[in-house]
Structure 1
Amino acid sequence: MTVSIGDVLRLADDLAVRRLGYGAMQLPGPGVWGPPRDHATALAVLRRAVELGVTHIDTSDFYGPHVANDLIRQALHPYPDDLVIATKVGVVRDEWHGFEAAAEPERLREQVEENLVRLGRARLDLVHLRVGGDGLLFPSAVPFAESFGALAELHERGLIRALGLSGVTVDQLAEARAIAPVAAVQNRFHLFDRSGADVLAACEAAGIAFTAYFPLAAGMLRHDVDLSQAPPGMAPSAERLAVLDEVAGRHGATRAQVAIAWLLGRSPVTLAIPGTSSLAHLEENMAAARLCLSPEDIALLDGLA
């Protein structure tokens, strides 16, 4: 099973991306707050990602807030014609650096306008309505259909090319599709967490792109991460890592590369957006597209859920 970064998935009639992209969440400072530790390196990572063939960058104006979008514009504007920038709305940051729901129609419109200004675009390529994820829900007093309907109106007005969802259930996906076409769904999914398998199956049946965020288990699959510093319950077990290392060792690859290759081979509709603020990690991630997993490898990895 080899997946090339050149493999393209069409999101909409006029929108297509290569299946291995880049997530900008790690560009701001610790806790996804404030400026990057190294501004020059952050810009270099974005530029190198595009040089390596990335055509799909995932971001949000609540990363920083504003930091990730400002860096993307500084590094890449004017943008390559084939670059798709996906963003998320429905959540904002509070004064304690937390995340809170902001899905009222007027607030969604404000967030879309903010993304347009920060990114320097007349129209946003792909906008996900963020509902939940990472074990969190962002409850809103506004009904889900009303929030998604507000984005559908902005799509009709031409401010958004395609609509997406993030952190949703199968029922919410069906509810949204009754209002407007859904081009992509973004849920957590990786080797050790298959909780989004039902949503992935629904996307595959409908031909909708499924973007797996945290494809490296929030960095826990990096070979150089200190697992002793992982939050409670986040560190993979020694048994799981042994299997992953066995597969990686057969190919002279890293844990991260095996995890990305498995994810892209999981379904023809999967997209991966591994994020990093490191040039070395970026190069490592992109090399995963050249990894060929055998049926034996896949069987072992499938058993890790």
Structure 2
Amino acid sequence: MEVITRISQLRDCLASHRLNQGPDRVKVGLVATMGFLHAGHASLIKAAKAQTDIVVLSIFVNPLQFGPNEDFDKYPRDAERDLHLAEAEGVDIVFAPSVEEMYPGPMKTTVSVSGLTARLCGATRPGHFDGVATVVSKLFHIVQPDKAFFGQKDAQQIAVIQQMVSDLNFPVDIVPCPTLREADGLAMSSRNVYLSEAERRQALVLSQSLAIAADFIRDHPQFSAEELMSEISNHIRTASLGEIDYIEVLAYPSLEPFKRSDELESDQVIVALAVKFSKARLIDNQLFSNKFSKSDLIDNQLISLRK
């Protein structure tokens, strides 16, 4: 495994790999992370290993996607542990640039995706997705991957990146990968380490609420978004240590609101949640087919949570 911190070195390294792979075109996969790796990141690496020839793992805590009162300075970091996990999973190249390497001067050019960023995390974190789109755009230009792998837990991020790729004709396939969960259902996140023991127990209301949503959709095929959000809200409010940031039921990937399920033209619906605890803001989501039957759940992890 090669560990590279300079953009020019990474480009030279990838050019060498591509040159030495013979007549068949080598496929490069990118897994973009902010480090503090966990099993969820490992699952993305495994998917990249299965579908591409060379896996590049980027580790970069991107300051552009943090607001002035957010946790950029305190965001968990453990470079040594990250490198051990990356090597154990068979990563070929780790790209771990400094902030100065990625942003050598004030950024006068940024990427902004309109519409999709107006709701969910974009509504409560202004400028966040401009930072995400800008750094992902830079990584795509630097690495020039054939495929890039992102976790479905950040479903809005995937929708934003897919829109950017389509609008700007990036020659890269975006591969969404299923959310990885702890044994009790909590979605894996680097921010889970911020939770106290009591908060960790109460954080299960997110995955439990998605299971409630699955049951509600199954039992009420022609439901209203307002009814479903009310059901979820009632459950999340049982967690006294958590504060609801948002509960949304939207068409996906357009992220457009709707009133009743029978009015939907989209193939999918997303139920998306964000709950704040004292030091951690957790997100989770679930995609459903617009057929709204138990057999049509896109991710049947929630069925197992109810058993």
TM-score range, shorter chain: 0.3 to 0.5
**TM-score, normalization by structure 1:** 0.32
**TM-score, normalization by structure 2:** 0.32
| Rg larger in structure | 2
